[in-house]
Structure 1
Amino acid sequence: MSSEEGWIAPFEEELAASHPSSTLQRGGFDPQAGIYHSLHKLKGTNQKIPIRPNLDTAAFVLSQFPPAGQAEKLVALIDSATNQRVTYAQLKLSIYKLATGLYHGLGVKKGDVIFVLSPNSLLYPTICLAVLSIGAVLTTANPLNTASEIAKQVRDSGTNLAISTPEEADKLLPTGVPTLLTSRSKDARPALSDTAVILYSSGTTGASKGVEITHSNLMYIVILLRWSAEVSSSLDDVFLCFLPMFHVYGLAFFALGLLAFPPVILALVVDVETGVALPPFRKGELWFKSPAVMKGYLGNQEATAATINADGWLQTGDLGYFDEDGCLYIVDRVKELIKHNGYQVAPAELEATLLSHTDILDAAVVPLDDEEAGQIPIAYVVKAANSELTEDQVIQFVASQVAPYKKVRKVSFIDAIPKSAAGKILRKDLVSQGKQKFVSRL
């Protein structure tokens, strides 16, 4: 295949035709359409979006490897604990060997779901790319998960085969799924639109859901990462992988978003009450449209339709805004907004205010139902050792810095804020505690 065949950026070309640059403001906002455009472009760099329909993520990633002569010498992975190094040539060979074993030896075929349960290791990338190369679907889990959590994911994803370290294999025994321990025909080739990975949401705000990520999604994320490295002149840098690989695909994309609003992404800021697109400095729900948007939630059309609308916009549930320079600010989650007397109160803003107090080590703000106001903000506070901070002092401290409708109405001192393994506040647990504690006083 020639260097240009199957590799173009149609999304950008369509955007350029439908939204002339002359209509865009300095920060990328189009006042006529109400859409925010990235100020960065793939055009002019070496990164292009693949459109060849039978291209899979593994083939795409391998195509980015150095040529044979350099691949034998250049290091792809380093184990930080042992200093063991794997060259690009060795990595490629191990991928092909495992893919051959899975396909010919174990009969793994396109569409089969492979469950990977392992901490970070040099084998992890080999396993992922081998699975994707034969058209199978990858689903990963945190090795800290319990046996019951793992069993639920195995059932929900329809797992056909598991790959696990010996240390974690016992958790898979109750599922009965065949487990491989670590120590293709044309019709079987996956397509761009085929599911490549099923990643599971944390479940901190409800039941955990399987997120279907396509080969096209993954390739676009790789393109964005390479684009980021190219424009920042860091292609030859060595990157430390400290994030868990069981959710590194999703985090890689959002980590990139922290560096810059990346190319080939459209954004809307939508008023949560009226649905109207908002201009810079107006807070609303963030909607995105790009080749990185997930396929949907596994086996849950209702949740998919509630998240991705008919026009392909992903309704993130995040509350935020853009400034005049196109910089994006995330304020809170729409679902976590506290509805008080018709006003919307962002818990994150109140939490930041609380944490500015020298005697407060940690804090969380959640809603409590109220007959008159609808909801009121209540705060859970972890105070410093030997602190004599009182509930009234906390309430007055916040009241002195925010608008009257944002004031904290009740405070509960606790030893620790409940959080998930990923560090997210378990707000639903605090809401339940609030109903039991404060309502019982009435």
Structure 2
Amino acid sequence: MLRLLKEATSTFGLARFGFRCTTSIPRRCAPSFSTQPATGYERNIVESPYNVDIPKLCVTDYIFHEVDRAADKPAVTCGSSKRSYNYGMIYEMTRRMAHALLAQKGCAMRPKEVIGVLLPNIPEFVPALHGGLMAGLTVTFANPLYTPEEICRQFDNANVRLVITLPVLLPVAQIYKTKAKKYRGTVCIGGKHNFEDNVFGFQQLLMEDHRVELPEVDPEETAILPYSSGTTGVPKGVELTHNNLVANLAQGTHPEMNKYCRPEFAGCTETILTIPPFFHIYGFNAILNSVLKSRNHLVSIPRFIPEDYIQCLLEFRPNFLFVVPSLMLFLATHPKVTADHLSSVDTLLVGAAAASIQLQEKFKQKCGREVDIAQGYGMTESSPVTLCTPYKYDLSKVGTCGQLYPNTKARIVSLADGSNLGPHQPGELHVRGPQIMKGYLNNNPATRETLDDEGWLHTGDVAYYDQDGYFYIVDRTKELIKVKGNQVSPTELENLILELPEVSDVAVAGIADETAGELPRAYVVLKQGQSLDEQVVIDHVKGRVVKYKQLAAGVMFVKEIPRNAGGKIQRHQLHLLGAQLDD
């Protein structure tokens, strides 16, 4: 095993990460929907027609339970470098990483402390993150394309003590090191030990003999801290426990929701190609963890490069694709993607945003045949899935995002009087279930605004359900902008623009875009007697945020920002204002 481990982890190179510039057994182990009686305050509560048993386990133990039975099956592969690990190897790497994080002299962590993972989609993401969870640590992860300022802001808020990253991103970790309190060290995947700078090579850590007893992990403890803007405001740390993650994975094992849990697929191993990032809750729990749990073969690439993705379609012949609408549009319209490229694909699952019926039809036309297209709905705050179309469902349910996930309840709340509404009446969607977050890290006001005393998560989305319990998202009350499935906080951009001394007031809203879904646009009010060029505003934001947050829809200078009596920005009026100015 040591020899195999050394060979498997010795082929690192920066270009292979997509940046162009063991078999040990874990130590621990279609009915119709219903509404509650229409009496009292709790009338019109919609309940999932499905239920599953949810074990109380560390999420890593749940995923790798009885992994020795699949030790030789391929687990994760980098579609760019072709670096690949089977289930036995990936579990052994995870176990060794857990020991190293607790025992390595110079950077030994203590249970419940936080590590920051700064990685693209590479196979080593699994032992990096799950090694931390197995060691009883909390893990936060960030987009490696974020600016150093964005990364440091998140890691500081989460109180990160150790960072796991790549050689090309070491300078960012070193910037954070100068700001952090009680910083333990940096683990570098593809690097070597550098004790002077407190940097530890990933391969060397796994090869060394670290003798330490791993702790028993309390499933009620916070496992991960992804960052989300929720329904409004700047990004906040979402406390998701092991129970939350395990619950959402277990919910996804119901045979009505997951074809791999159906008798006709028992024992098979399919190849699944994915691009949504593992540092997003959709990519992490709904894709990476669920595929590992089902013992299928997950292929991904560190960064979306069209030629690389198209080559993966030909080389790996995937049966199943995880996509976002912008990728689905690429597959449906790009001239280099042919029906032959998609000939092996029988199922797509669309996440992060809704795929229109027109887009689904375009994709099927490209394939030249019927393909199962599933859709879902969720939030970071719900681990993430709360709604999903069943494995087979009535195709007349045009535009649905599915039925309630097992063990989940929902209600549609009137925006006028707060009452619970019945079928075909739109209102704000509230959901409740075992996958709902613990709360926002060190932010009780934001937690109370989103999660009420009865455990209902207020999603900020306007929806309705039909007589069969299928839900439809029709609008958003929340302020977030969705760019290619990525969350963009208007508040974050507004705070940056207000740093410009010429600006008196500002509001940011999303403008519809066929490819991206939405693009951010700023509406700026200047101080009296001041002038400012649009490009100055764009460049000021550009230097501070990742590309998808930039003001791609431009800047408009206006006389005033529409606000209500309480001073809150009325973003729906911004859209009307923008349309008038465009004309």
Q: Which TM-score bucket, shorter chain as reference? A: 0.5 to 0.7
Are residues 1:211 and 2:242 paired?
Answer: no
- Residues 251, 318 of structure 1: alpha-carbon distance in 2 compared, 3 angstrom cutoff: farther
Equivalent runs, 1:280-359 vs 2, <5 Å: 280-335=423-478
Residue matched to 2:187: 180
| Candidates 398, 408, 424, aligned match of 1:265 | 408
CA distance in 2, matches of 1:280, 1:434: 42
CA distance in 1, matches of 2:445, 2:231: 19
| Identity value in percent | 28
CA distance in 2, matches of 1:224, 1:426: 38
CA distance in 2, matches of 1:329, 1:119: 33
Question: What is the Cα deviation at residue 40 of structure 1?
Answer: 2.3
CA contact (8 A) 1:205 1:427 kept: no
CA contact (8 A) 1:320 1:329 kept: yes
- Partner deviation per Cα, 1:73-128 (whole Å, 9 max, x = no partner): 21111221233331111111111111111111132121110001011101001111
CA distance in 2, matches of 1:194, 1:120: 26
Equivalent runs, 1:181-200 vs 2, <5 Å: 181-183=188-190, 185=213, 188-200=215-227
CA contact (8 A) 1:270 1:277 kept: yes
Are residues 1:111 and 2:117 paired?
Answer: no
CA distance in 2, matches of 1:280, 1:74: 46
CA distance in 1, matches of 2:230, 2:34: 34
CA distance in 2, matches of 1:34, 1:113: 41
- Residues 126, 321 of structure 1: alpha-carbon distance in 2 compared, 3 angstrom cutoff: same
Residue matched to 1:72: 71
CA contact (8 A) 1:29 1:279 kept: no
- Partner deviation per Cα, 1:114-155 (whole Å, 9 max, x = no partner): 001011101001111100001100000001100000110111
Q: Under a length normalisation based on structure 1, what TM-score does the superposition of the two structures give?
A: 0.67
CA contact (8 A) 1:135 1:189 kept: yes
CA contact (8 A) 2:388 2:405 kept: no
What is the letter of the counterpart of residue 94 of structure 1? M
Question: What is the Cα deviation at residue 221 of structure 1?
Answer: 2.0
CA contact (8 A) 2:385 2:405 kept: no
CA contact (8 A) 1:37 1:266 kept: yes
- Residues 381, 295 of structure 1: alpha-carbon distance in 2 compared, 3 angstrom cutoff: closer
Question: What is the Cα deviation at residue 250 of structure 1?
Answer: 5.9
CA contact (8 A) 1:205 1:426 kept: no
What is the letter of the counterpart of residue 60 of structure 1? Y
- Partner deviation per Cα, 1:261-304 (whole Å, 9 max, x = no partner): 21100111111231111111111111111110011100001111
Gaps of 5+ in 1: 1-5, 8-23, 43-47, 338-346, 349-377, 384-415
Question: What is the Cα deviation at residue 71 of structure 1?
Answer: 2.8
Which moved further from structure 2: 425-434 or 308-317? 425-434
Q: Under a length normalisation based on structure 2, what TM-score does the superposition of the two structures give?
A: 0.52
Question: What is the Cα deviation at residue 312 of structure 1?
Answer: 0.9
- Residues 421, 238 of structure 1: alpha-carbon distance in 2 compared, 3 angstrom cutoff: farther
What is the letter of the counterpart of residue 274 of structure 2? C
Q: May I ask how many residue pairs the two structures share in their alignment?
A: 336
| Candidates 59, 62, 71, aligned match of 2:61 | 59
Equivalent runs, 1:10-409 vs 2, <5 Å: 26-32=32-38, 33-42=43-52, 48-51=53-56, 55-63=57-65, 65=67, 68=68, 70-105=69-104, 106-176=107-177, 177=183, 178-183=185-190, 185=213, 188-201=215-228, 205-227=232-254, 228=258, 229-231=260-262, 236-247=269-280, 248-249=283-284, 252=287, 254=384, 257-260=387-390, 261-335=404-478
CA distance in 2, matches of 1:72, 1:379: 47
CA distance in 2, matches of 1:215, 1:254: 13
SS in 2 for 1:174: helix
What is the letter of the counterpart of residue 50 of structure 1? P
CA distance in 1, matches of 2:151, 2:103: 27
Gaps of 5+ in 2: 1-27, 178-182, 191-211, 288-382, 391-403, 483-508, 515-537, 562-573
Q: Please tell me the root mean square deviation across aligned C-alpha atoms, in Å.
A: 3.7
- Partner deviation per Cα, 1:330-371 (whole Å, 9 max, x = no partner): 11222359xxxxxxxxx99xxxxxxxxxxxxxxxxxxxxxxx
- Partner deviation per Cα, 1:396-420 (whole Å, 9 max, x = no partner): xxxxxxxxxxxxxxxxxxxx9x999
